[in-house]
Amino acid sequence: MRLLFPFGLNENDDTTPEEAYKGSYNFELKLNTTDFEPRSPLDLVTTAPNSGDVRGLMQFVKRDDTFTTLVQASGDVYSWNGSSFTTVGTCATTSKLRGTTWALDDYMVITDINKATELKKWDGSSFTTLGTGLINPFAKYSVVFNNRVWLFNLTENGVDLSHMIVASAFENPTDFTTSLRAGDSSFLTGLEAFYLLAPDLKPINGVAVFKNVIIFSTVEGQLYRISGDDSSNYIVDNFYKGSSAVGTESMANIGNDVTFMKRGGVIESLIATDTFGDVGADDLSKWIPDTVKNLTGAITVYDQSNQKVLYFVANKCLVLFKNLLPTQRSAWSVYRTKLSNNFNASSALYLRIPGTTNYTVYWGDSAGKIFDLNGTGKSGDGGTDSIFSVRKTYYLKNEQIGVDFRHTPLLGRISYIRRDEVEAVLTFEWGDSYHNPTCAITLKGSPNNSENYYSGTNYYAGANYYNEGFTFANRISSRGFSPTGRGPGFYFSVEVDSTKDFNIFEVEIPKV
């Protein structure tokens, strides 16, 4: 029997040996790949000068493709170029600043999830208050749609308008109104500013733009969509009755869909909901019911480069590998860390790495540290801590394998691709027994990095052997194992606790 690792975590009873059983985490998944590989290390990128809580990460890309990155750490706002910080402004320490690019005038509109700081703007050099025509305006969310800036969940002049949406005048985000509703009889051109209300008059707690439609959610309410094309005919329609997002940042566009977290922690697909209604087909988290149970929100980020959807929740990050969804098997992994921040992110953003043309996901913690989720340092989390990776199968019965292990010793072989030298621990939890034997196996490293041949630094004293180099470095190697114990079946897990990289190709338990 060959144990491969193509699919993700499945906490239900219908798992297969190719899916990971309860307790598995810190593994990576790729379409059409069956290997057991660890997640990337968390590279510690920088620390804010004041070591304050990194509650806001924003990036503004101008039309000429130059860009700046803003970091809110507690009450200070910095511009960060990848190596140094420059203070550009201040905000309330409780704020969670978020940015939306207004390309027409080349600046970023900045809102505050906690509505503790007035609307701001950033043009690449100046952090200033955004002129809107409103009195002391605060807003949770902003989007750019149909050449207008739209603000959601307002406070104006001290009055809570959390159920209100205001849309700027056409191509003019300095002109808003809270006195003229869409369709007002005074509108003559259709270009005017206007407001709309959530039909249930409940606070708005999530917004996404998808396929030329604005979708928004209300607290303990439902999902709505905005339709129309000018100030005379914009309206709010019911989209999904009886359901709404929880939290304040759990709704996100993931390229070909919108996901949101609803009551109980269930993570749903907007497209499936629109197509089938409130049925199991729209539940993206149906494979991990124990992990998402009773979650009340998440910071959701779509990693477009790696086709991952990331849900930063308490003490972990849930990872949905979007390309695996059509397989009808689990597309989920869970990331954990030994770092003291324990993946408790205060903010997260998919952005261009300063000084490069590459994109990744940065996230910040309460101590001012900013991490690259897709690290490349091969030095463990934060450059210090090892990454504990584990994959576990569900209960394998003797009849599935074709061997009666109550009378026959278990003999197996682990195959791997040589990367770095690490120790893999294989654990066997025998049925009808409290005996859980382990086999510790050293997976050798790549000969390029760790070994010399014929006592020289190069094989046959040349830089390459007959100009072929070490082409065999990525070939599959294997080691045998034979645990003690007997039983009618067993749970089987593979664990690696290391700062180094590894790739386990398969585990084979042959018939005798």
pLDDT above 90 coverage of the chain, percent = 81
Q: What is the pLDDT of residue 207?
A: 97
Last residue of a domain, one of 244, 270, 294: 244
Residue 270 within a domain: no
Number of domains in the chain: 2
Span 500-504, average pLDDT: 94
Residue 346 within a domain: no
C-alpha 213: how far from chain center = 23
Residue 457 within a domain: yes
Last residue of a domain, one of 229, 244, 259: 244
Residue 266 within a domain: no
Residue 30 within a domain: no
Residue 118 within a domain: no
- pLDDT confidence bin for 278, thresholds 50/70/90: low
- How many Å apart are CA 244 and CA 247, to the nearest integer? 10
249 to 11, 41, 112, 309, 312: CA distances (angstroms): 25, 25, 12, 13, 10
Per-residue pLDDT at 471 exceeds 90? no
Span 264-271, average pLDDT: 92
Span 205-233, average pLDDT: 94
Residue 191 within a domain: yes
- How many Å apart are CA 97 and CA 454, to the nearest integer? 60
Question: 442 with 426: CB under 8 angstroms?
Answer: no
Q: Which own/partner contact pairs does 119-127 have at CB distance under 8 Å and 24+ positions apart?
A: 119/151, 120/89, 120/91, 122/58, 122/60, 122/68, 122/70, 122/88, 123/60, 124/60, 124/62, 124/66, 124/68, 126/88, 127/70, 127/77, 127/88, 127/89
- How many Å apart are CA 484 and CA 461, to the nearest integer? 45
Element (H, E) at 181: none
Last residue of a domain, one of 220, 244, 268: 244
**Which domain, by its residues, includes 423?**
395-508
Residue 466 within a domain: yes
pLDDT tens digits, one per residue of 366-376: 999 999 999 98
